[in-house]
Amino acid sequence: MPLSVLICDDSLVARKQVAKCLPQDWDVDIHFAKHGKEAIEQIQAGKGQILLLDLNMPVMDGYQTLDAIQSGQFTTKTIVISGDIQPEAHHRVTALGAVDFIEKPVNPGELQDVLRQHHLLEMQEPTKENPALPLALQDIYQEMTNVAMGQAGEHLARIMNVFVKLPIPNVNLIEVSEIHMMLKDIESHERVSAVCQGFIGGGVTGEAVCMLSDSSFGDIAKILNIQSSVDDQLQLEVLMDAASVLIGTCLSGIGQQLDISFRQRLPMILGQHRNVSELIDSNLRKWRKTLAIELSYGIEGYDVQCDLVLLFTEESMNTMNMKLAHLLEDDL
Amino acid sequence: MSQNSEMLQMHWLMDMVQSVDVGIVVLDRECKIHVWNDFMESHSGLLANTVKNQTLFAVNNDIDKEWFIQKTKPVFDLKVRTFITWEQRPYLFKFPNYRPITGTEDFMYQNVVISALTSATGAVDYISVMIYDTTDKAIAKKQLEALQVHMTENALPVR
């Protein structure tokens, strides 16, 4: 995961302008936020090792943002870029922990100088830490998923005559805010469709989200041997079919190891009937943390990229931990 | 004696499959019909004895064979469930509305779940096709949409 540079400004023009001023050869991910609140949410989700921050913004201004970063003890390095050139402004942001202050409009040379001066250009990539999930458990979940994936991949490969590039599963305990962002991201991406499907069995409940880039449809139709041309209606169906197969094989692999047979609900296209933000808002209070297993499939020789995320509820983890405990004991 | 009670249990289990208000059809790999429950009999007007051992496509020639085979292949091969929702395809079997007098739709909207039936040896030789009546949902959605259109068209101008 490359370093993330977060540009926070309420003006689209300003955000673009700042992004253009970043050094061309700098290997970073660029993220944007429209105000401080969005920026803090992204920082909480592990983005924004470097923050380029405007001061005058709605919802949460630059000062409040710096304050939140300080009190949240985030390691984000903040450079303030503002039109407010009063000495007092400069003084105040430095007191709030900003590493430097650049006057608007910013130019590439100046920004680069400041970045170099504070050794931000050679800053290391962040290492992902998961203090919440004990390493041994994370290992077990990862292994469980690996085995399930192996079976699923073999099935898929045999049936569809393709080579499935097996993903390395990413197992994490994630906060609600991260899912929030993930779903919002899907919503804002017109070129990605997502299907979600609830599953339940033996005291374990959760939801699977399958995301497919729209460019994959043609190739998936080819793999599934669908002859007719892919129109909108068929596209939805292909998406649901592909999702059922991916989610189903993966779940049955996991279920076998947990000795659980999962029931799956009908798949739904995400956000087709209700706005995603609305869904999230109504669910926000129900839970805080969740176990997420992320898988990213590719199929050799085809332009198919598909991400599968399995989200388990907090309560389910107790059951799963118990069922998997024997693995841990055997290993030690 | 115990064999007898098992037989009895088998009997009422079968009775349940027959009488449940969900359509149940069991098919083999050639899509020949093996089970056709009461729900299917009542709504299609075809008796189980008539359709047994016929292929699904002979019984219902509305179904696109290639498309349906496509839907069942992963179920046989991968033991996963596949789904057909009324929003994508209103129905698999064109049945008349359950409420012919007070209902507003001409036919029954259906959700369909196709799942594998695993034999004692673990092989999948048969699949079950379950048909759920979702006409009420479809009507509710249509009404809601009509209401939304009505409200936008008749909205008071903002002063």
Specify the CATH number for the domain of residue B108.
3.30.450.20
Within an 8 Å CB–CB cutoff, is residue B148 touching chain A? no
Q: State the smallest CA–CA distance between residue B50 and chain A in angstroms.
A: 31
Q: Which fold has domain A3-117?
A: Rossmann fold (3.40.50)
Tell me the range of A67-76, A314-323, B88-97 where mean pLDDT is highest. B88-97
Q: State the smallest CA–CA distance between residue A318 and chain B in angstroms.
A: 26
Q: State the smallest CA–CA distance between residue A178 and chain B in angstroms.
A: 30
Report the distance separating Cα B129 and Cα A159, nearest Å. 21
CATH 3.90.226.10 fits A135-331, yes or no: no
Angle in degrees, CA B122, B125, B128, rounded to 5: 105
Instruction: Calculate mean pLDDT across residues A216-244.
Output: 76
Report the distance separating Cα B111 and Cα B135, nearest Å. 9
Least confident piece of the model among A19-28, A203-212, A268-277, A314-323: A268-277
Block residue for tokens 């949409």: B145
Which part of chain A has CATH 3.40.50.2300? 3-117
Q: How many domains does chain B have?
A: 1
A52 with A72: CB under 8 angstroms?
no
pLDDT of A331 higher than 50:
no
Q: Which of A267, A228, A260, A226 is nearest to A246 (CA)?
A: A267
**3-class DSSP state of B79:** coil
A159 CB neighbours in chain B (<8 A) are 73-74, 77-78
Which part of chain A has CATH 3.40.1550.10? 135-331
**pLDDT at residue B117, as a whole number:** 93
Nearest CA in chain A to B80: A248
Q: Is residue B34 assigned to a domain?
A: yes
Q: Is residue B12 assigned to a domain?
A: no
Helix/strand number for chain A, H first, E second: 11, 13
Block residue for tokens 């983890």: A317
Q: Which of B82, B89, B111 sits opposite A244 (nearest CB)?
A: B82
Residue A261 burial (10 A CB sphere; 0-12, 13-18, 19+): exposed
Report percent pLDDT > 70 for chain A. 85
Torsion angles phi and psi, residue A223, rounded to 5? -65, -40
Strand partners, A6: A31, A51
Q: Is residue B67 assigned to a domain?
A: yes
**pLDDT at residue B106, as a whole number:** 85
Helix (H) or strand (E) holding A330: helix A314-331
Residue A200 burial (10 A CB sphere; 0-12, 13-18, 19+): middle
**3-class DSSP state of A324:** helix
Report the Cα–Cα distance between both ends of chain A, in Å, rounded: 32
Q: State the smallest CA–CA distance between residue A104 and chain B in angstroms.
A: 40
Q: Which of A150, A192, A218, A154 is nearest to A306 (CA)?
A: A192
- Is the Cβ pair B83, A155 closer than 8 Å? no
Report the distance separating Cα A302 and Cα B44, nearest Å. 43
Report the distance separating Cα A172 and Cα A1, nearest Å. 15
Domain span including residue B64: 22-153
What is the pLDDT of chain A when averaged over all its residues?
80
Position with higher pLDDT, B110 vs A165 = B110
Helix/strand number for chain B, H first, E second: 6, 5
Report the distance separating Cα B146 and Cα B148, nearest Å. 5
B74 CB neighbours in chain A (<8 A) are 159, 241, 244-245, 248
Q: Which of B66, B83, B89 sits opposite A244 (nearest CB)?
A: B83
Q: Is residue B110 assigned to a domain?
A: yes
Helix (H) or strand (E) holding A284: none
Instruction: Calculate mean pLDDT across residues A97-114.
Output: 86
| pTM score of the predicted model | 0.64
B111 CB neighbours in chain A (<8 A) are 266
pLDDT of A220 higher than 50:
yes
- Cis geometry, peptide bond prior to residue A105 (ω within 30 degrees of 0): yes
Output the tens digit of pLDDT for each of chain B's 159 residues: 567 888 888 899 989 989 999 999 999 999 999 999 999 999 999 999 999 999 999 999 889 998 899 889 889 988 889 999 898 889 999 998 877 777 778 899 999 999 999 888 888 999 999 999 999 888 898 888 889 888 888 877 765
Report the distance separating Cα A36 and Cα B90, nearest Å. 47
**3-class DSSP state of A269:** strand
Residue A159 burial (10 A CB sphere; 0-12, 13-18, 19+): middle
Residue A202: alpha-carbon gap to chain centroid = 28
Report the distance separating Cα B106 and Cα B109, nearest Å. 9
Candidates B65, B79, B80, partner chain A, best to mutate (most A CBs within 10 A)? B80
pLDDT band at A65 (very low <50, low <70, confident <90, very high): very high
**pLDDT at residue A72, as a whole number:** 81
Q: Is residue B128 assigned to a domain?
A: yes
A209 with A195: CB under 8 angstroms?
yes
**Strands (DSSP E) along chain B, which ranges?**
23-28, 33-36, 82-84, 110-118, 124-133
**3-class DSSP state of B31:** coil
Tell me the range of A57-71, A76-90, A255-269, B21-35 where mean pLDDT is highest. B21-35
- As for the ipTM of the complex, it is 0.77
pLDDT of A129 higher than 50:
no
